[in-house]
A = this chain, B = another copy of it.
Amino acid sequence: MNSKDVIAESRFSSDKMRKTNLFETRNFFCDVYGLEPGQEQKVHSHDDADKIYFVIDGRGEFLIGEETCVLGPNQIVLAPAGESHGVRNIGEARLTLLVFMTPNPNKR
């Protein structure tokens, strides 16, 4: 059975945000990101792949295209293919994100 506990799988590091892969197929990957306070994923974009961020714990400031928003637990945001996106942990606690990307850019 391909089941996992996302919190148990999450990893954090004092030097930079940590990505931990949960699942990967030809079609997608699913990671858990761990960001200590102040850490970020710099703004970037993917020409062909959509990304979703779902906040499990903590508070993140998301930049998607020209817009910024702060999201907390159980909030979700879509970064469509071609749109720039990034996230920064603006809270005082750890930020844990469930992240999906499809198609899988590593499998093309």
Give how many A residues have a beta carbon under 8 Å from the other chain's beta carbons. Answer: 35
Q: What CA separation (Å) do A77 and B1 show in the bound complex?
A: 8
Tell me whether B30 and A76 are in contact (CB under 8 A).
yes
Produce 1/0 per residue, A16-43, CB < 8 A to B.
Answer: 0000001101011010000000000000
Q: Oligomeric state, in number of copies?
A: 2
Produce 1/0 per residue, A80-108, CB < 8 A to B.
Answer: 11000000000000000010101100000
Q: What residues of chain B lie closer than 8 Å to A7, measured between beta carbons? A: 74
- Knowing that A6-B74, A23-B76 are A-B contacts, what are 18 other residue pairs whose CB atoms are under 8 Å apart, sorted by A's residue number? A1-B64, A1-B67, A2-B64, A2-B78, A3-B76, A3-B78, A6-B54, A27-B81, A27-B103, A28-B28, A28-B100, A28-B102, A30-B100, A54-B98, A76-B98, A98-B98, A100-B100, A102-B103
